[in-house]
Amino acid sequence: MHVDFLPDIILGNIFSYLSLQDLRNSSLVCKRWYSILNDEDNDVWRLHCFHKLAEEVLSSDLLSSTPTYKAKLKAFHHAWNPEDCSRNIYIKPNGFTIHRNPVAQSTDAVRGKIGFSHGRHAWEVIWEGPLGTVAVVGIATKEATLQTHGYIALLGSDDQSWGWNLVDNHLLHNGDSQGNYPMLNNAPKYQVGERIRVILDCDDNTLAFERNYEFLGVAFRGLPEKLLYPSVSAVYGHTEVSMVYLGPPLDG
């Protein structure tokens, strides 16, 4: 039987065995294949999710902001990088959450798997354990340090990283405080479990944050035109931080 006569359900089953690169190529073959693969919640993407993602994360609410199977799969491929973190950090089996080991006099950081140099990108960070004295959310280049002695705001301690310290609401870059953030009187402190949305605009070279769907304003301007990675740095033993990539931010 010619492939053109195969039912969509059979084609979808075949597609589920292809690599992501092969799926991209397949979507360019014809309108019908594009239509099948453009459905982000069909069996193709569902089966890929079941092959790649841990059952515990699919059944939890961690990925609640990624409404389709394809979006969940994309989030997984953008998650924390187990090969690009401090030796005192490991990635939990769910693939999205770091755990910092209780090592004294150490500050530890991690980067995401994929960096960005163009376009607009958003991801959520959820701090699921105690903050300690310093808990920083932001971005870093590949040159930024991922581990140092003592308890410091590692993310933002050099010219290769930019961060927001959730403990004291200070912005940090190049070892200096860049002022309070957000610019509100008596701005509320971060509560463990809240979702922080990080918004990186590589076209406008800015970094901004949202908390509980409230836009807090632009935090940093004039970012360099180089690969910038989602990043956090932590000091508290056994604290855990999850990151879920969302894709382009929704305006408004």
- The domains of the chain are located at 3-65, 79-247
Residue by residue, pLDDT tens for the chain (252 residues) are: 556 667 777 777 777 777 778 878 877 878 887 777 777 778 888 888 888 898 889 889 999 999 999 999 999 999 999 999 999 999 999 999 999 999 999 999 999 999 999 999 999 999 998 999 999 999 999 999 999 999 999 999 999 999 999 999 999 999 999 999 998 777 788 888 899 999 999 999 999 999 988 899 999 999 999 999 999 999 999 999 999 999 998 764
The CA-based diameter of the chain, rounded to the nearest angstrom, is 70
Which residues does residue 230 pair with via DSSP β-bridges, in sequence order? 139
- Is the separation of the CB atoms in 155 and 233 below 8 Å? yes
Strands (E), 161-239: 161-165, 170-173, 176-180, 195-201, 206-211, 214-220, 229-234
CATH superfamily placement of domain 79-247: SPRY domain (2.60.120.920)
Residue 237 to residue 32: CA distance in whole angstroms: 52
Which two tokens mark 207?
Answer: 């970094």
pTM over 0.85: yes
- Residue 150, SS3? coil
Residue 75 to residue 41: CA distance in whole angstroms: 14
